[in-house]
Chains A and B, each alone.
Chain A
Amino acid sequence: QSALTQPRSVSGSPGQSVTISCTGTSSDIGGYNYVSWYQQHPGKVPKLMIYDVNKRPSGVPDRFSGSKSGNTASLTISGLQAEDEADYYCCSYAGTNTFEVFGGGTKLTVL
């Protein structure tokens, strides 16, 4: 069982927006502004999409955005494209004993 809870799957049609939630506790998501999101296509290496809750690395389209409210972080993908179909994982800092924890992953299907 993962430390952070994500929906197993979400879906959307091309051009639509989808939001993936990531729920933790006050000991991780709620306690720090250190949340990141990773995209992983089948058989590929995870790719950093969002860090520090809402920052995008260079090269990541601005269709990807992150936010946080209380113990829940969210990744929103607007203007869905076929290539966005992948697994998405959230990650949060959880203090000096646990360090980082990941969510169980969400499979995004573009219909």
Chain B
Amino acid sequence: QVQLQESGPGLVKASETLSLTCTVSGYSISSGYYWGWIRQPPGKGLECIGSIYQSGTTNYSPSLKSRVTISVDTSKNQFSLKLNSVTAADTAVYYCARRRTAVFDFWGQGTMVTVSS
């Protein structure tokens, strides 16, 4: 069974960089699929942030592209998210998930990240 687990700080100061890592078990990232990040502000809907393929090919949401970097470490079976210059609007639950075109079939449990002023 594919399992994903997010990790990283739950509190980030405004203007700094949010950094999260997703560790995948039960499936090798090198075997295929894209691996993505999705977020959900409190009480609001889901928003795609971006995703990465094993080769390092990335795609990002146009609205976040200027601030986002997603990277992959196949040796650790992990992929990571960096979102810079954060504001209160970036406060959300951040999920990692396995992705193919418009399908997110396995999700992590999510991690709440709060941006403090």
- Measured CB to CB, the nearest residue on chain A to B97 is A46
Which residues of B in the span 32-60 have a Cβ within 8 Å of any Cβ on A? Answer: 45-48, 50-51, 59
Taken together as a complex, chains A and B put the C-alpha atoms of A88 and B101 apart, in Å, by 19
- Report the minimal beta-carbon distance from A71 to chain B, rounded to whole angstroms: 15
- B102 and A46 contacting across the interface, CB-CB below 8 Å: no
Contact of A102 among B46, B107, B109 (CB under 8 A): B46
Q: State which size class the interface on B falls in.
A: 20 to 34
Q: Assuming A100-B48, A102-B48, A105-B45, is B104 touching A93 (CB within 8 A)?
A: no
Judged by a CB distance under 8 angstroms, whether A77 is at the interface is no
Residues of A near B46 (CB, < 8 A) are 38, 46, 89, 91, 102, 105
CA distance A57 to B110 in the complex (A): 21
A51 to chain B, nearest CB (A): 5
Question: A97-B62, A105-B45 known; 15 other A-B pairs, CB under 8 Å?
Answer: A34-B102, A34-B103, A38-B46, A48-B104, A48-B105, A52-B103, A89-B45, A89-B46, A96-B59, A98-B62, A100-B48, A100-B99, A102-B45, A103-B45, A105-B46
Residues of chain B whose beta carbon lies under 8 Å from any beta carbon of chain A: 45-48, 50-51, 59, 61-62, 95, 99, 101-105, 107-110
